[in-house]
Each structure stands twice: as C-alpha cells, then as structure tokens.
A and B are shown apart, each in its own frame.
Chain A
Amino acid sequence: MMFTAAMFALAVAMLLVLVRLFAGPTLYDRVLALNAFGTMTVLLIGVVGFMTERPDFLDIALLYALINFVGTIAILKFFRYKDLGQGLAASEEQNSLRDGGSQ
C-alpha cells in the first residue's frame, strides 16, 4: 500500500518535471529538470524493486544515481568551456602562463 502511494506520487512528480522540461524558458531550467528526472528514475527503480519484492534492484538504482551525477557535471562543464576536452587544457594553460609571468 505504501509503495503504491509512493508510485502515484512519483508519477505526478515526473509529470511536473516533464512540463518544466517542455516549457522551461532557460537552459538551466532544463538541466535541472533533467537532473531531477534522473533522480526520479532512481526512485522509480527502488520502488519497483520493493513492490516486486526484489530489493536487489537497489544496487542498480545507486549506479543510476552515479551516472546522473556525472552526466550533469559533463553538461555544466560543456556550458562553462563550450567544449569537453579543452576545459582542463585551457585552464592549465592559463595557470602556467600566470606562474610564468610571476617568475
């Protein structure tokens, strides 16, 4: 019964996040909505696991949470540097130039 209620609440929450994702005026609304949706998928897997009485699913839900985190970091890094490979090299470049200038 408790898991059924949790399932209904998750469905409503997913719908709200989807509305934000479709409408979302700025890019950051959409990034945040995607992250929230990933979290809801984690919860969904957990609830389905407990509803079918197979809590082993919880391991997979944890891995989803990790992927969700890395994905959000990658998207935000892309915004910061406009490129995924160059960010680190460019900041190293700046650091080395700054160090060289002070010597």
Chain B
Amino acid sequence: MEAFIDIVLFGFLILTAIAIMRLRNLFAVVMLSGVFSLLSAGLFVVMDAVDVAFTEAAVGAGISTVLMLGTMAMTSREEKPPVHNRLFSFAIAVIVGAALIYGTTDMPPFGSPDAPAHQHVGPDYIERTPKEIGVPNVVTAVLASYRGFDTLGEVAVIFTAGIAVIVLLHGRTRPARTARARKKEKDV
C-alpha cells in the first residue's frame, strides 16, 4: 500500500512539474508550485519525516506562494519565451540528475539502523534527552536546548533579513503615509 501511495504522489509530482514548465501564465505557475510543495510534504510524511514535511508545507506552500505573488505584483504576469538554447539546459538537467542518482547507490538503505547518521551522536542524544530535557521529541530537544544558541543565531539572521526586506520595499507605501501625516497635522 505504501508503494501505491509513493507511486501516486510521485506521478502527481511529475505531472505538476511538466505543467509548470509548459504554462506561461505566472499566476498558475505560482499555484502549481504550491501544489508541488504540498505533494512533497505528503511524500515526507509517508517517509516518517514529519518535521521536514511540516517545514516544507509552511515554507513551500505557505510563505513562498505569498512571497512569489508579492513579487508578481511588481513584475509581469506572463513569462517571456526563453531566449537561450533549450537543448543545452536539458542536457545539464539530465547530467545533474544522473549524477545525483549515481550518488544514491552509495547511500545506506532507507531506514537502515546501521546508517552512519544513526551511529555517531544519535544514540547519545536519544539516551540523554528523557533524563536531561524531558520532552518526547528528540529533534525538538536538540534544536531548542542542546543547540539553543545556534537556533537563537538563526532567528536573529532571519529577523535581520526580514527588516532589510521591509526597509527595501517600504518606498512604495510612503506617499500614502505622508498624505495621512499631512491630514493629522491639519487636524492638530
């Protein structure tokens, strides 16, 4: 049954990718990329990577869709026909894809307990977390407690980036603000 779900989800992923390539209406492409994210989130859930799936759904389907729509408000709604050679791009995509598939042949089997990721510090964290932190989810314990300062740094970086984007894009709303400010001064 799990094989059936995998085949259906991967089939839909391929259909969505082909549709994204063929459509020229950028709005439809944004909607389809949201569906692409939701499908990959479904695949992550089937593979038991629930945390990754949730991040994918929040960032890929939620925030990216909104950001891309906001970008589209400042640019065109139609994609221009490509000017470069398509065969060259296709060849690069095929070579990179083949290299990635070749790389997977050296990977340990899916879910194998002998994989290097489960041999290094993993067992140590699994043993210490219930005693030291006391939360059932080990990933949360690592992110929020053992690596708490690292996470705080990441939050600071993202916060700074957000402020920079707001400052850069703010020029467009300024005329409305000054009009309101003038109105207030008149009232006073």
Q: Could you tell me which A residues sit within 8 Å of B by CB distance?
A: 4, 7, 11, 14-15, 18, 21-22, 24, 27, 30-31, 33-34, 37-38, 41, 44-45, 48, 51, 57, 60, 63-64, 67-68, 70-71, 74-75, 78, 82-86, 89-90, 92-93, 96-97, 100
Contacts and interface: CB of A to CB of B under 8 A. Distances in A.
A86 B177 CA distance: 10
Given A30-B28, A97-B183, A14 B12 contact: yes
Contacts, number: 107
B12 A15 contact: yes
A74 B173 CA distance: 19
A44 B9 CA distance: 10
A78 B177 CA distance: 20
5 contacts: A21-B32, A24-B28, A86-B173, A89-B177, A93-B180
Interface residues of B, number: 42
Interface stretch (B62-70, B108-116, B151-159): B62-70
B50 interface: yes
B98 interface: no
A100 B28 contact: no
Per DSSP, are chain A's interface residues mostly helix, strand or loop, or mixed? helix
Interface in B11-62: 12, 15-16, 19, 23, 27-28, 31-32, 34-35, 38-39, 41-42, 45-46, 50, 53-54, 57-58, 61-62
Given A75-B69, A78-B70, A84-B70, A93 B38 contact: no
Nearest to A68: B61
A67 B58 CA distance: 7
Nearest to A49: B45
Contacts of A67: 57-58, 61-62
A82 B180 CA distance: 20
Contacts of A34: 31, 34-35
B70 A45 contact: no
B187 interface: yes
B73 interface: yes
B176 A45 contact: no
A57 B50 contact: yes
Interface string B168-188: 010011001101100100010
Most chain B Cβ neighbours within 10 Å, of A38, A51, A71, A97? A71
B28 A38 contact: no
B54 A83 contact: no
Given A37-B35, A96-B180, A71 B1 contact: no
Given A63-B54, A71-B62, A30 B12 contact: no
Interface string B115-128: 00000000000000
